[in-house]
Amino acid sequence: MTRVWTALLGSLFVASSFAQVPIPAPPQVGAVGFYLVDFASDRVIAEKAADVSVEPASITKLMTAYAAFKALEQNQISMDDQVRVSEKAWRTQGSRMFIEVDTEVGVEDLLRGMIIQSGNDASVALAEHVAGSVEAFVGLMNQHAAMLGMTGTHFENPTGLPGDNHVMTARDIAILAKAIIDEFPEYYGFYSEREFTYNGIRQHNRNSLLWRDQSVDGLKTGHTDAAGYCLVTSAERDGMRLISVVLGTASPDARADASQALLGYGFRFYETHRLYASGEEITTARVWRGQPQVAGLGLTEDLYVTIPRGKYESLSAVMDLSTDLVAPLQSQDTVGAVRVSLDGEPVSDVPLVLLHEVTQAGFFARLKDDITRWLQ
């Protein structure tokens, strides 16, 4: 059985007129690779070499932070913990927070020093505190990457300093950025802080878009000679959030310009809509041999779509029930699919589920349903 949700359909005249609206090609930016994706719908708007594994430099610290956030979530560490700085952390080369050996530094200060100041020393100190050693922490980083589906990523250290097989892809970086924003909103604010002072030394956030674009609220820069200048950015305008990743540009200004061009393109030419909310009853279906006889159907997650601006009236959605529904049925049982298309092209395909349990009806009600189905 198939039903069409006419609430999402515009008139044929409107749909036809919008179908002719042109969308320009994405901007050509001077980067080895880039990736632009909508946060809510996971719609990829633009990409180049998104699955090529490259050196990520300090963008690595997104995973260092993610692993630390996970440890905080699981009460393995606390923001109030005082971390004794090892000589190994103190001697770490590259950008620094300037922590001193054998002093104690709070976890919150270390997180700010790593996220805002890009401190390699802070990264090592956090790694040692979370897992006992840098080596053990790197193992955690790779486990988290695997669980998030970051198939083109492998870590060798928590800092982003060059390693023989220390790599990420643009797509994987976006996956990680989304996980941080989605899972840890209470800590995401660190990424929008423009400066941090520790030990009398004030350092500014290297993400210049925090000053240039008020919609930008994160995330992280990176640079080594081999990686070039890299930037992963998130911005939100009018309820639409985009994540951009730019890798291998020639300068700090180039990575900021490239990121801003991609974000501007996405916000100008695309829009995101929530079609249905998780748990919302979006339709009903007859349940044979059931009590009740009619059951509500919906989704386990919010359904978002990202489409070219002005094309909302061209959307159509179809509910496909895989078979007749016969009790007993459990809540969250998959009974079909919601298929969304734009001008006939597939946009989204998500499971349709039963919202509440349906038990078997009494003997005579079941018998009546059996006879009715047989006669059909």
**Three-state SS at 358:** strand
* Pairing state between β 2-4 and 315-321: antiparallel
DSSP class per residue in 200-218: TEEEE-S-THHHH-TTEEE
Q: Provide the residue ranges of all domains of the chain, joining segments of one domain with +.
A: 2-15+277-375, 33-271
CA pair distance 132, 148, nearest whole angstrom:
23
CA pair distance 26, 300, nearest whole angstrom:
33
Domain 2-15+277-375: assigned CATH number: 2.60.410.10
Does the structure show a pLDDT above 80 at 354? yes
pLDDT of 234-284, one tens digit each? 999 999 999 999 999 999 999 999 999 999 999 999 999 999 999 999 999
pLDDT of residue 21: 66
pLDDT of residue 20: 53
Structure token digits, residue 303: 């359904």
CA distances from 239 to 39, 40, 98, 235, 340 (A): 11, 10, 38, 10, 21
Handedness of CA 19, 21, 22, 23 (dihedral sign): negative
Structure token digits, residue 141: 């980083």
Judge whether 2-15+277-375 and 33-271 match in fold.
no
Q: Which residues of 201-213 are buried (b: 16+ CB within 10 A; e: fewer)?
A: eebebbbbbbeeb
Query: May I ask the CATH architecture of the domain 33-271?
Result: 3-Layer(aba) Sandwich (3.40)
CA pair distance 137, 159, nearest whole angstrom:
11
pLDDT of residue 2: 45
pLDDT of residue 367: 85
Active site residues: 58, 61, 118
pLDDT of residue 183: 98
Does the structure show a pLDDT above 90 at 19? no
Number of CB atoms found within 10 A of residue 129's CB: 23
pLDDT of 288-321, one tens digit each? 988 999 999 999 999 999 999 999 999 999 999 8
**Three-state SS at 341:** strand
What's the number of CA atoms in the CB half-sphere (13 Å) around residue 224?
A: 19
Higher pLDDT, 238 or 365: 238
pLDDT category of residue 9 using cuts at 50, 70 and 90:
very low
CA distances from 273 to 27, 236, 306 (A): 24, 14, 6
Question: Percentage of the chain surpassing pLDDT 90?
Answer: 86
Q: Closest by alpha carbon to 135, among 88, 93, 173? A: 88
Structure token digits, residue 246: 């730019």
**pTM of the predicted protein model:** 0.91
Does the structure show a pLDDT above 60 at 156? yes
Looking at 19-106, list the stretches that DSSP marks H as alpha helix, in order from N- to C-terminal side: 61-73, 87-91
**Three-state SS at 80:** coil
